Structure 1
Amino acid sequence: MSIESFGSRLRRAMDSRGPLCVGIDPHASLLDSWGLPDTVEGLERFSRTVVEALGETVAVFKPQAAFFERFGSKGVAVLETTVAEARAAGALVCMDAKRGDIGSTMAAYAEAFLRKDSPLFSDALTVSPYLGYGSLKPAVDLARENGAGLFVLALTSNPEGGEVQHAVRADGRNVGATMLGHLAAENAGESPLGSFGAVVGATLGDLSSYDLDINGPLLAPGIGAQGATPADLPSVFGAAVRNVVPNVSRGVLRHGPSVEALRSSAARFADEVRSAVAGA
């Protein structure tokens, strides 16, 4: 029996649940604002509350691995539970780990997050291509084998990213555009959506000089606390806006620990994104 691709599952989830990804970013200040201690117990309470509130309605969760890893093995155990409970509730999970290495090390990273029997198996993984796009091959291959996906850092919104991503190659294309080209090739012929996406910041303004039509998803951080709004998406992403997966973290999470407030905030963002996309 063939495995349904991540791109296909993501398209269905966004169409049925709304085009929104909610980050699970339990940093110390957010735990404090919820009245929780900066401990494993606080981490577990925070993560369970987010999944309880949104697991049956949000399309994608994006847990930030670093905020769990900082507690060592007990924090990773909480991350394993969070991933399992989110997926059991019907949400897709994109692990935000930004892994990037070469050879057997890249293969080991891929096995940690993209192998079906791994306790951290996720529907997708963020990866860094800046040891060369070809270094991601172990992750690309394992993602294909297991019906998972990747989100490759391409045009990030942090100011420091420009010195790498905007660097111009000998062929006249910059590095960010080159990454988009690689992803378009990975997704060629896939329907309804390829499984290999790019991370493209929603705060970057007009990106019409880039070919964002990679037949794959565009994970777009920057909505909410970082200043971008759902209404900005069409002007940033143009014709590719329907494939955008807007990521909101603090914009939703600051409404906790109230389950109802978390649900209301996420639903509002999803409705605003739907309206923006429909009007594009």
Structure 2
Amino acid sequence: MSSLSSEEIHAQRSDFGLRLSNSMAKYGPLCVGIDPHRQLLTDWGYNVDALGAELYAMRMLQAANGRAAAVKFQSSMFERYGSKGIAALERVLYAARQMGTITIVDCLHGGLPTTISAFADAYFKPGAPLLADAITLLPYYGARSLGGVINDALNNGRGVFIASLTSNQEGASLQTAIRQAGEYKGKTVAFGIASTAQKFNNGINGMGSVGLIIGATIGQWINDSGVDPSKFTGPILSPGYGWQGAEKGDLKTVFKGTKGNVLVTVSRFIAAHGPSISALTEATESVALDIRQALLEASTEGEETDEAD
């Protein structure tokens, strides 16, 4: 990076956000989750092993190609098979890159800066064995503990998604807890995480490269968090739609006023139509249209609220 001009560095650090924004403009706000659950492998007639997971992933990739803005691989579903599973994940990530599909590895890593710096070698740097466009991170060692790995991602034209408002049932009690000290004293934990992430996106024209994870099922308590998704300028990765219970109305509630930066993940709802490629592609196209319409209405509702004010 030291040999690059300031303009080149700025372009590199905003590259993921630009590429994802372009992909979402072209294909819509759907991210296909590729999660080879044991039951799905069995239902599809595959062995519950690394090869079965790889075959499943390749088929889901085919269905997503040209129909979704990105794909997200659940790393634990491959790690369960040890070295063979990791090798399978390497191969499906390579296949996705050959298709030109944006890849997110859902590994939810976190830790001390001295240890998580190794993730850059695994996911971000040229020649990385698990080279991906973005990974997911957990901020509960402190959001600032992620600064080093976030900068490694940005400096290599990659991105991250930081868990902020998750859809698990116990999330609300932790994420809406009030901070007792520090820069965001008196604000919620979630607010501090979102604000720290936003700092990396300040000064970027268009969508930034540092994102948040905000579940689609949290509408009942999002106001308690103090987080306003419409004011966040990075990408927002939103699980919970479909199988986990969120519907179009939930997307409109949580993401009211957002401006094209919400990427909704759907996995099992699509996979339930497999292994037929034609059925998978039809399901992918159908859910993509539903999500696009719901988020368009969410954006419009936000504009109407602003006009009323």
Query: Normalization by structure 1: what TM-score?
Result: 0.95
Q: Structure 1: which amino acid aligns with 2:76?
A: A
Q: Distance in 2 between matches of 1:272 and 1:116?
A: 37
Instruction: Establish whether residue 177 from structure 1 lines up as the match of residue 195 from structure 2.
Output: no
Partner of 1:248: 266
1:19-38 pair list within 5 angstroms: 19-38=29-48
What is the CA deviation profile of residues 50-74 of structure 1, one whole-angstrom value per residue up to 9, with x for unaligned ones?
A: 1122223321110000010111111
Partner of 1:165: 175
Shift of 1:237: 1.3
Would the aligned equivalents of 2:63 and 2:284 in 1 still touch at CA under 8 Å? no
Partner of 2:291: 273
Q: Distance in 2 between matches of 1:114 and 1:43?
A: 23
Partner of 2:228: 211
- Structure of greater Rg: 2
Instruction: Establish whether residue 111 from structure 1 lines up as the match of residue 128 from structure 2.
Output: no
Bigger mean CA deviation after superposition, 209-218 or 120-129: 209-218
Would the aligned equivalents of 1:220 and 1:246 in 2 still touch at CA under 8 Å? yes
Partner of 1:146: 156
Gaps of 5+ in 1: none
Shift of 1:98: 0.4
Instruction: Establish whether residue 222 from structure 1 lines up as the match of residue 240 from structure 2.
Output: yes
Q: Structure 2: which amino acid aligns with 1:250?
A: R
Instruction: Establish whether residue 62 from structure 1 lines up as the match of residue 72 from structure 2.
Output: yes
Would the aligned equivalents of 2:15 and 2:157 in 1 still touch at CA under 8 Å? yes
Query: Normalization by structure 2: what TM-score?
Result: 0.87
Shift of 1:210: 2.1
Match of 1:232 among 250, 259, 269: 250
Q: Distance in 1 between matches of 2:150 and 2:33?
A: 23
Give the 3-state SS of the residue equivalent to 1:222 in structure 2: coil
Aligned residues: 280
Q: Distance in 2 between matches of 1:32 and 1:179?
A: 39
Would the aligned equivalents of 1:100 and 1:136 in 2 still touch at CA under 8 Å? yes
Shift of 1:162: 2.5
Q: Distance in 2 between matches of 1:229 and 1:111?
A: 38
Q: Distance in 2 between matches of 1:238 and 1:57?
A: 24
Match of 2:59 among 49, 60, 64: 49
Gaps of 5+ in 2: 1-7, 301-309
Shift of 1:117: 1.5
Q: Distance in 2 between matches of 1:271 and 1:56?
A: 14
1:91-110 pair list within 5 angstroms: 91-110=101-120
Shift of 1:242: 2.3
